[in-house]
Amino acid sequence: MDKAYQSAHESDIYRLWEQSGAFTPVVPSDPVKAREAREPFTIILPPPNANNPLHAGHIMYVVEDILVRYHRMLGDPTLWLPGTDHAGIESQFVFEKELKKQGRSRFDYDRQTLYRLIDEFVAQNKDIAISQLKMMGFSLDWTRLKFTLDPDHVARIYAVFNRMHHDGLVYRDEKIVNYCTFCGTAFSNLEVVHKTVNGHLWYINYGPLSVATTRPETMLGDTAVAVNPSDIRYQKLIGTKLKLPLVGREIPIIGEESVDPEFGTGAVKVTPSHSPEDYDMGKKFHLEFIRIFDYDGRANANVPEKYRSLYPQQVREAVVRDLEAAGLLEKVVDYSHEVGHCYKCGRPIEPITAPQWFIKVKTLADQALQVVQDDTIKIFPKRFKKSYLTWMKNLRDWPVSRQIVWGHRLPIWYNLDENPDTQITFIDKSGKNITDLYKNLKDNFDFAQIKNGLQSLIAPVNAKYYLTEAEALQAGEHTLQETDTFDTWFSSGQWPYSTLGFNPEDPSKSAPDFKYFYPTSLLDTMWDILFFWVARMIMFGLYVTGKVPFEVVHLHSRVNDAQGQKMSKSRGNVINPSTFVAQYGADALRFALVYGVAPGSDISLSEDKLRAQRNFVNKLWNAARFIELMVDKVGITGFSLDPAKFNADDKAIIAELNRVIAATTKNINRYHFGAASEDLYQFFWHQFCDIYIEKVKDRPAEALPVLAHVLLNSLKLLHPFIPFVTETIYQTLKEKLHYTEALLITAAWPQND
């Protein structure tokens, strides 16, 4: 053995594992019967985004690898299925940043070209991510590698969408949505980051009363003023009308119980098209909905001409100036309040009414709530169960359409011969409205040019549509597919059963993989996407297959920097796994991520911790090298344990080994990886190396059987945590120490003597 462990050999070890077929379980000829006899252990890898190399969060896949290697050594049929995610808005956002470096933007390309360029960009980074997964030693079955844009996955999510539509769970409506005018798309409530900002409260004279508002610019779209009906100051005004300042339009004064009499003046402006709370009031009181900002963020023709084409901040400044000039601005006070921000670009969200596709979630959520409530699906750590149940009880319908190019385009087609030209708005690649161009030149216009140049279309709620292109074409030749793409979570929410080959149109024809490996055993992910992703997989799994997608949800820790700060590119503290692996080795990084970490707690990853775990890897190597030198010195060719020959030290280390075998098995079964790793560290470094090895240096021949026995079992216990060094030692010494199993990765888990 070399004087020190060389992590440069790790790629050779990984190749050895792959070539052995150890990662690839065989499906029995009768998968249903085989599953009934013995359930396999299955994990579907949460697919990393294919838009960028792996980051610190992805290296927590080590938790899954520990479990997979452990169950493989127990003799369980074990599958860890890999895949990557096209990552919709995230990939397009990352690609647009690359374009910006080149002085370009998405508006320089037609839809097809932009899609192709993003596809090429993602393909390059997808390969990088896969190589990094291998670099970390993750024992994934690469023969089953999946991608969320694989044709079979696309076909499945389309089939599920059509089924949901048939079951009345899909609808199109114009509702208030969280819209980012920079990213050019809507987001669900889960994807909005609420930040406290220091702003102002403007007090504006509306004639018979005054209102206080944090957004004076949206007053141009007011359609009512609301007061609490119990507020004696305004009771006589309820049901009357006033003239909206700067606009002159008449709007009613309404009585609404949710209005807080203590806020501002006790009277609030109501802008249903630009506030979620006001939207609800608008529906309740049948108010007019006037949207004053378009999808590019500019004020539209629904405002007085002087404000048109201005951005919200510009409109605010102009409105405040005009209110001051008219003597209508009573006062301005400092005011801190929460404002929704885009979780991608960080800019303020603009709530606007827009036609979107929605999923009705009530019945889906009720089922998903029940299976967690009754522990059909167990959530660990348990403290997250309460959060999940609370959230699911208050879930709103889910907007699944995104106004981006990259992703699964909705399987909806419009026939323009049946829909009046004025119903559907056409937007070209530059963001220009070309509806009139098509309308005026329809008879002489090459329809292919519309299709090729179209960036997006906006169809009203009452537009007629079809679920297949063939049906739309039967109604006429001018057929356009919906340009919205599915929210990424609509696709990845169907990941567990889709990757295993479920057939949503005829479940009996599902692939053997699905029949054998589904439901999966465990989902491991970080707690921050419990609602983004986990809840949706549970809803889809129950709705589509009638079964839960997994039996356990394990929520792992978050990796922070050495100061305990969350990693982010803006802070400049993002960890590149490749850098640390090159410096310290994959095993040291893996062990540092779990050593002494309590379940679900944050991990502060520092170079001091990495150095400490690299030292442990070297300690293991040096102990094995010492035993090899003792074998060469003594010249013994066979080992057999004979308890009759044990002295007190031998008995003590064997007893301690048996204790640590039982403790490690128990801790892994309970997902206490931090406790297991700490126990193994203490046992091997202190009790075996510092105490036992030091005591037996003067009796090598008698002690060698015990040394070989403890080393072998220590290698097995540590293998799920630090697989490279343990497999390297095993392959190097197995002939000298007469270890009989070909590979450590497939060796049997140690049992107590």
**What Cα–Cα distance (Å) separates residue 64 from each residue in 4, 139, 494, 702?**
29, 9, 20, 40
Dihedrals φ, ψ of 359, to 5°? -110, 130
* Residue 121 near residue 95 (C-beta atoms within 8 A): yes
Work out the average pLDDT over 451-455. Answer: 75
Task: Tell me which range, 171-185, 231-245, 524-538, is most confidently predicted by mean pLDDT.
Answer: 231-245
Residue 106 in this model has a pLDDT that exceeds 90: no
Label residue 438 by pLDDT band (50, 70, 90): low
Strands (E), 219-285: 224-227, 241-243, 250-255, 267-270
Q: What pLDDT sits at residue 684? A: 98
Q: What pLDDT sits at residue 575? A: 72
Query: 3-state DSSP call for residue 427?
Result: strand
With a CB cutoff of 8 Å and minimum separation 6, the contacts of 637 are none
With a CB cutoff of 8 Å and minimum separation 6, the contacts of 669 are none
Work out the average pLDDT over 570-596. Answer: 85
Residue 444 in this model has a pLDDT that exceeds 70: no
Concatenating the DSSP letter of every residue in 485-525 gives EE-HHHHHTTHHHHHTT--SS-GGG--HHHHHH-SEEEEEE
Closest CA to 69 of 721, 517, 642, 539: 721
* Residue 187 near residue 342 (C-beta atoms within 8 A): yes
204 vs 221: CA distance, rounded Å: 15
Query: 3-state DSSP call for residue 168?
Result: coil
Work out the average pLDDT over 722-731. Answer: 98
With a CB cutoff of 8 Å and minimum separation 6, the contacts of 67 are 41, 43, 522, 524, 668, 720
Residue 22 in this model has a pLDDT that exceeds 70: yes
Q: What pLDDT sits at residue 439? A: 67
* Residue 495 near residue 43 (C-beta atoms within 8 A): no
Label residue 724 by pLDDT band (50, 70, 90): very high
What are the residues facing 206 on neighbouring strands?
A: none
Label residue 570 by pLDDT band (50, 70, 90): very low
Residue 489 in this model has a pLDDT that exceeds 70: yes
Dihedrals φ, ψ of 477, to 5°? -85, -20
Which pair of structure tokens corresponds to residue 422? 């004025």
Q: Is the dihedral of CA 669, 674, 675, 676 positive or negative?
A: positive
Chain mean pLDDT for the chain: 92
**What Cα–Cα distance (Å) separates residue 74 from each residue in 662, 665, 747?**
14, 10, 9
* Number of neighbouring beta carbons within 10 Å of residue 598: 13
Which pair of structure tokens corresponds to residue 44? 């579907």
Query: 3-state DSSP call for residue 278?
Result: helix
Closest CA to 727 of 154, 86, 137: 137
Query: 3-state DSSP call for residue 147?
Result: strand
Work out the average pLDDT over 30-44. Answer: 97
Give residue-wise pLDDT tens across range 412-424. Answer: 999 988 886 567 8
Q: What pLDDT sits at residue 460? A: 87
* Residue 300 near residue 294 (C-beta atoms within 8 A): yes
Task: Give this prediction's pTM.
Answer: 0.90
Q: What pLDDT sits at residue 561? A: 72
Work out the average pLDDT over 222-239. Answer: 97
Say how many CA atoms lie within 13 Å of 666 toward its Cβ.
9
**What Cα–Cα distance (Å) separates residue 686 from each residue in 63, 674, 690, 704?**
25, 18, 5, 19
Give residue-wise pLDDT tens across range 291-319. Answer: 999 888 899 999 999 999 999 999 999 99
* Residue 549 near residue 555 (C-beta atoms within 8 A): no
**CA 650 to chain CA mean position, Å:** 50
Work out the average pLDDT over 619-647. Answer: 90
Domains of the chain, earliest start first: 20-163+488-556 (3.40.50.620), 185-351 (3.90.740.10), 411-483 (no CATH), 594-733 (1.10.730.10)
Total residue count of the chain as it appears in this document:
753
* Residue 588 near residue 610 (C-beta atoms within 8 A): yes
* Residue 169 near residue 360 (C-beta atoms within 8 A): yes
* Residue 522 near residue 67 (C-beta atoms within 8 A): yes
**What Cα–Cα distance (Å) separates residue 140 from each residue in 120, 145, 551, 736?**
25, 9, 20, 31
With a CB cutoff of 8 Å and minimum separation 6, the contacts of 205 are 245, 327, 328, 329, 330
- 103-117, 359-373, 733-747: the lowest-pLDDT one: 103-117
CA angle 719, 665, 753 (to 5 degrees): 95
Report which secondary-structure segment, H or E, holds 171: strand 170-180
Strands (E), 549-621: 550-556, 559-560, 603-604
Q: What pLDDT sits at residue 137? A: 97
38: left (phi > 0), else alpha (psi -120 to 50), else beta? beta
Work out the average pLDDT over 334-339. Answer: 91
- 152-156, 161-165, 595-599, 635-639: the lowest-pLDDT one: 635-639
455 vs 133: CA distance, rounded Å: 36
> Running DSSP on this structure, what letter comes out for residue 348?
B
Strands ordered across the beta sheet of 550-556: 78-81, 41-44, 520-526, 550-556, 378-380
Report which secondary-structure segment, H or E, holds 447: helix 447-453
375 vs 385: CA distance, rounded Å: 10
Closest CA to 16 of 746, 590, 623, 625: 746
Label residue 567 by pLDDT band (50, 70, 90): low
Strands ordered across the beta sheet of 350-359: 185-187, 170-180, 350-359, 398-399
The dihedral over CA atoms of 67, 69, 74, 78, expressed in degrees to the nearest 10, equals 80
**What Cα–Cα distance (Å) separates residue 158 from each residue in 263, 341, 369, 405, 687?**
48, 31, 25, 17, 59
Residue 28 in this model has a pLDDT that exceeds 70: yes
- 190-199, 212-221, 437-446: the lowest-pLDDT one: 437-446
What are the residues facing 352 on neighbouring strands?
A: 177
Residue 55 in this model has a pLDDT that exceeds 80: no
Q: What pLDDT sits at residue 462? A: 87
Q: What pLDDT sits at residue 145? A: 97
* Residue 700 near residue 650 (C-beta atoms within 8 A): no
